[in-house]
Amino acid sequence: MASRKKTTGLVLDIYARVSRVGDDRQRSTEGQVDDCKLRVAERGAVVGEVHIDSGRSAWNPNVKRPDWDRLMERLESGATGGVVVFDLERLSRRPIEGERLIAAAERGLVVLDSEGEYDLTTANGKKAFREQLVSAAYYSDRLSTKVKRGKRLKAMKGESNASWRGFGFPGKDLRTGEPVSEEQVQREREILRDRTRRLLAGESRHSMINELNKQGILTSTGGHWTQTGFDNVMLRPANAGLVTYEGEVVGRLPGEPIISEADYERVVALYALRRRGRPASDVYLCTGIVWCGRCRQRTLSGRARSHLPPYPEDGGIRRVYNCQPRPHPTNSGCGKLTVDQRALDKHVERLVIAILADPRHAASVQKAARQVASEKEKLDAEIAEIEQTTIELASRLGRGEISLARHDAAVGPLDRRLAALEEKRAALGQASAAGPISAEEINASRAEWERRWNDATTDEQRKLIRRALQGRRLFVMPADPHAPRRFDPNRIVLEDAEKSR
């Protein structure tokens, strides 16, 4: 501590923090701020900005404290004359952060807590400040060691360190707080045995997840099943009765395990052999093909909406297409348009089959192909390559293999090249229509194209879409805010590529 500095009229910021929100053992941030305001008033100073980090550890270097960063910016820039905290441990538990504060205090910053003042411009003040931080860091280190030791001992006794009940294990229901019945636990264990057998037999995870949701079987936290949640449950060592701590097997759970250790090892091996980050292109047919009709700047991208109720017909995870915003001046989406994935895919399927099934369209395509066959094939191949590259870049971004900046830097030139190619492709023109076509010919053509569509892979279906569009663009227009919340086919508009620019 040091002699009292004159602080009348000085602007002092306030900082408050708690490690865990709702922890009654710690003084609330509201209480800390009230005490600090009283301290500022006692010194005749003026309250500057109030900074609060709730649920943020000051000891863990991996935890970001945004209000702490804002406070340090103001201290280092001279925007405030100092800081008031309830106690120094609220400010920091890391000596390295204390040194940063000391460096900023060379011009005479004031640091106050409920017990006194730290003059960081003097040797004694720096010594007292450092000793307090070292003491706080030592306390946190000791507490961390005790907690880790306690968790390890708990794990070795076969007890879970989880904060909630695991699927297939006894415990309390998070929604009611009541212990789940033994009958429910046994039902869940049998479900896990059944899914393990089917997974090892080669059945797809998607079908099993959809089945669980369709049957109304919830997770242990009361939510719908997702692929990530399903995978996490299937890969738990506890399924085989193994108790692990930080990746090391330290014991075994009492009683009969859900599955044998041999089956568990086969499940782990099966997941290890899968391609990680496999693109979801087989799910989202229209990704990179259908455009946003609101901003008209970007094609739509698909994403899951697992927090919404699953599709009632089969329990599948609900998915949508949306126009994703990007921090790029020439390649930014609006982020304000969404359409249901299944409904759009089905509508596009019907539209494409209708176009391709019209014999007049086929005759037109053949005539145009004879006239400019080589040029069109070259353009179509380059357009398809760019679209496929765009889809692969979006998949890599979703897997975290590339940054958003690298994605936008790569997609921007591709979009401009794609627009130029589509303009050139549209300039080739369309062939004139043929004569009247009978209903029998139309029905026969439709049946043939439906067969070809159903037999095609997702990539082949995308090629059929591009073939049907023939230099045109498919837009999803904004929904009517007053209309019922269901898919409206009138939102889907087909425009010439030239007109759509």
Closest Cα partner for 418 from 328, 291, 312, 316?
A: 291
> How deeply is 282 buried, as exposed, middle or buried, from its count of CB atoms within 10 A (0-12, 13-18, 19+)?
exposed
Q: Is 367 inside any structural domain? A: yes
354 lies in some domain: yes
Between helix 404-427 and helix 359-398 the angle, nearest 10°, is: 170
Q: Do 87 and 113 have their domain in common?
A: yes
What count of residues does the chain have? 501
Is 137 in the same domain as 215?
no
* Sheet strands side by side (includes 492-496): 290-292, 472-476, 492-496
DSSP letter, residue 60: -
Is residue 310 within 8 A of residue 316, CB to CB? The reply is yes
Low-confidence ranges of the chain (pLDDT < 70): 1-7, 20-26, 58-61, 90-98, 105-108, 114-115, 118-121, 129, 132-134, 136-163, 245-247, 273-282, 326-332, 359-374, 376, 398-399, 406-407, 409-410, 427-442, 497-501
Q: What is the pLDDT of residue 347?
A: 93
Contact, 352 vs 453, CB < 8 A? Answer: yes
Distance, CA of 120 to CA of 358 (rounded, Å): 84
Helices (H), 173-302: 182-200, 205-214, 227-234, 261-273
Q: Please tell me whether residue 8 adopts helix, strand or coil conformation.
A: coil
Answering whether pTM is above 0.75, one says: no
CA distances (Å), 274 to each of 111, 268, 271, in order? 56, 10, 5
Query: 348, 475 in Cβ contact below 8 A?
Result: no
The contacts found for 353-356 with CB under 8 angstroms, 24 or more apart, are: 353/446, 353/449, 353/450, 353/453, 354/446, 355/468, 356/445, 356/449, 356/464, 356/467, 356/468
Taking the alpha carbons at both ends of the chain, their separation in whole angstroms is 70
φ, ψ for residue 109, nearest 5 deg: -65, 150
Enumerate the β-bridge partners of residue 321.
Answer: 302, 339
Smallest Cα–Cα separation from 4: which of 124, 118, 88, 120?
A: 118
Return the bridge partners of 85, or none.
15
Q: Among 67, 119, 123, 122, which residue's Cα sits nearest to residue 90?
A: 67
Number of H helices, E strands in the chain: 15, 13
The C-alpha atoms of residue 475 and residue 495 are separated, in whole angstroms, by: 8
What is the C-alpha to C-alpha distance for residues 23 and 29, in angstroms, rounded to an integer?
Answer: 11
Clarify whether residues 259 and 336 are in a common domain. Answer: no
Distance from C-alpha of 492 to C-alpha of 181, rounded to nearest angstrom = 50
Q: What is the CATH number of the domain that holds 26?
A: 3.40.50.1390
Q: What tokens appear for 226 in the block?
A: 């997702």
Half-sphere exposure of 425 (CA within 13 A, CB side): 24
Name the β-bridge partners of 299: 291
In a 13 Å sphere around the CA of 448, the CA atoms on its Cβ side amount to 12
Report the pLDDT value the prediction gives residue 95, as an integer from 0 to 100: 65
For residue 366, is it within any domain? Answer: yes
Domain check: are 373 and 463 in the same one? yes
DSSP β-bridge partners for residue 301: 322
Secondary element (H or E) of residue 252: strand 248-252
**Same-domain pairing of 240 and 194:** yes
Is the domain of 190 the same as that of 125? Answer: no
In a domain, 174, yes or no: no
Question: Residues 111, 220: one domain?
Answer: no
Is the same domain home to 297 and 405?
yes
- Residue in 15, 4, 185, 3 with CA at minimum distance from that of residue 89: 15
Whole-angstrom Cα distance, residue 498 to residue 490? 21
Q: Is residue 3 part of a domain?
A: no
Tokens of 387: 């679209």
The pLDDT of residue 495 is: 86
How many alpha carbons fall within 13 Å on the CB side of residue 494? 13
Rounded distance between C-alpha atoms, residue 426 and residue 471, angstroms? 5
Q: What is residue 24's predicted lDDT score, i.e. its pLDDT?
A: 56
Shared-domain flag, residues 138 and 258:
no
Nearest to 139 by CA among 57, 72, 63: 57
Do the domain assignments include residue 386?
A: yes
| 279 Rama class: left (phi>0) / alpha (psi -120 to 50) / beta | beta
Residue 103 to residues 51, 95, 120, 315: CA-CA distances in angstroms?
21, 12, 9, 59
Angle value at C-alpha 319, between 312 and 272, nearest 5 degrees: 105
Is there a single domain that holds both residue 254 and residue 329? no
Are both 483 and 334 inside the same structural domain?
yes
Residue 119: domain span: 11-143
Residue where a domain stops, chosen among 245, 273, 301: 273
In a domain, 100, yes or no: yes
Tokens for 262, please give them: 């041999």
Q: What is the dihedral of CA 437, 443, 444, 446, to 10 degrees?
A: 110
Maximum C-alpha span of the chain: 102
| Number of separate domains in the chain | 3
**In a shared domain, residues 259 and 347:** no
Query: Residue 442: inside a domain, yes or no?
Result: yes
Kind plus residue range of the DSSP H or E element containing 90: helix 88-91
Confidence at residue 59, expressed as pLDDT on a 0 to 100 scale: 57
